């Protein structure tokens, strides 16, 4: 069974207890590093969670984006498949445009993919149309991982939140800023299906145990704009972590000063996932926050 007692976590940073050093970007250039890693452990399942997820940073460093979101995962997938391990890799709804067009595209094609679509939520069969380097590198990574291992499991997800050691997801940012009395600009026009990370982990485990392969969406139960998401978090926290909703400053994405274009009307449909694991259900924001506070792990909210 999957669990903390029988998992080994690689890290590009100085490894903590139970972790070993591995640099995915280096492995993209030196596949032997991936081979050495899997032959150190001979795992049954390899979940490739690492990637270059700083969307604006990907615009500035496209080579790093493609190393960590495309070539590196494919190299690791090939190495894992060679020792008989099940491969799981995580992608993103940013492979879609969210109904937006690249500036100056006029809705035509850009880089060989459609520059706009009707918007989400999206199913697995919907044609991708990334707007930025991050989305393009992840889309290329999907194809590369499945080419390296056709039995791999590729999971698209979005707006992931929940307890973590780094404390960088949206809910941490919200609690940190509003908790210190600082206003926070929140895009008013970005819609997704926020995903509780423990639900994502549970869906991963269930899909692996079911022998699933190919592309699946894993997301939250309902489409939410970022402002509505923030307000639901504040309401769910209530008196346990009081935050002032008046400090939320809605801004349009075009005025947010971001280097990369963002999909606006996005989110993920879960029909295929529910058919594969019918006993799985994503938690609402309120349920997720209750679980988070009842079972804290990693950084505390507000740190």
So which residues are the catalytic ones? Answer: 134
* SS3 (DSSP) at 145: helix
Residues paired with 89 in a beta bridge:
48, 154
Structural contact between residues 8 and 20, judged by C-beta atoms closer than 8 angstroms: yes
Element (H, E) at 10: strand 9-11
Determine the Cα angle at 130 with ends 219 and 172, to 5°: 45
Write the CA distances from 12 to 69, 151, 168, integer angstroms.
15, 27, 17
CA distance linking residue 27 with residue 34, whole number of Å: 6
State the burial class of residue 275 (Cβ atoms within 10 Å of its Cβ: 0-12, 13-18, 19+). exposed
CA 75 to chain centre: 20
Q: What are phi and psi of 56, to 5 degrees?
A: -70, -35
Listed in sequence order, the residues at least 6 apart from 70 whose beta carbon sits closer than 8 Å to its beta carbon are 28, 137, 138, 140, 141, 144
What is the Cα–Cα distance from 199 to 223, expressed in whole angstroms?
Answer: 16
């Amino acid at each position: 069974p999957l669990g903390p007692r029988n998992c080994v976590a690689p890290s590009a940073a100085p490894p903590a207890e139970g972790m070993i050093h591995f640099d995915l970007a280096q492995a993209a250039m030196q596949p032997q590093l991936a081979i050495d890693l899997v032959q150190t452990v001979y795992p049954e399942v390899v979940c490739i969670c690492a990637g270059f997820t700083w969307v604006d940073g990907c615009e500035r460093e496209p080579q790093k984006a493609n190393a960590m979101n495309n070539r590196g995962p494919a190299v690791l997938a090939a190495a894992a498949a060679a020792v008989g391990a099940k491969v799981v890799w995580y992608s993103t709804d940013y492979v879609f445009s969210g109904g937006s067009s690249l500036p100056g595209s006029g809705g035509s094609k850009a880089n060989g993919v459609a520059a706009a679509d009707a918007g989400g939520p999206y199913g697995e069969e919907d044609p991708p149309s990334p707007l930025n380097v991050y989305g393009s590198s992840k889309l290329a990574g999907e194809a590369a991982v499945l080419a390296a291992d056709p039995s791999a499991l590729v999971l698209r997800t979005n707006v992931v939140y929940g307890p973590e050691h780094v404390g960088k997801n949206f809910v941490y940012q919200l609690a940190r800023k509003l908790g210190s009395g600082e206003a926070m600009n929140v895009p008013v026009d970005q819609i997704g299906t926020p995903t509780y990370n423990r639900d994502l982990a549970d869906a991963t485990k269930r899909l692996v145990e079911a022998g699933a392969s190919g592309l699946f969406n894993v997301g939250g139960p309902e489409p939410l704009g970022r402002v509505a998401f923030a307000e639901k978090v504040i309401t769910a926290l209530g008196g346990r972590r009081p935050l002032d909703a008046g400090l939320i400053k809605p801004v349009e994405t075009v005025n947010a000063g971001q280097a990369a274009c963002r999909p606006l009307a996005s989110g993920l449909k879960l029909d295929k996932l529910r058919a594969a694991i019918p006993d799985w259900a994503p938690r609402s924001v309120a349920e997720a926050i209750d679980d988070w506070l009842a079972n804290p792990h990693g950084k505390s909210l507000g740190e």
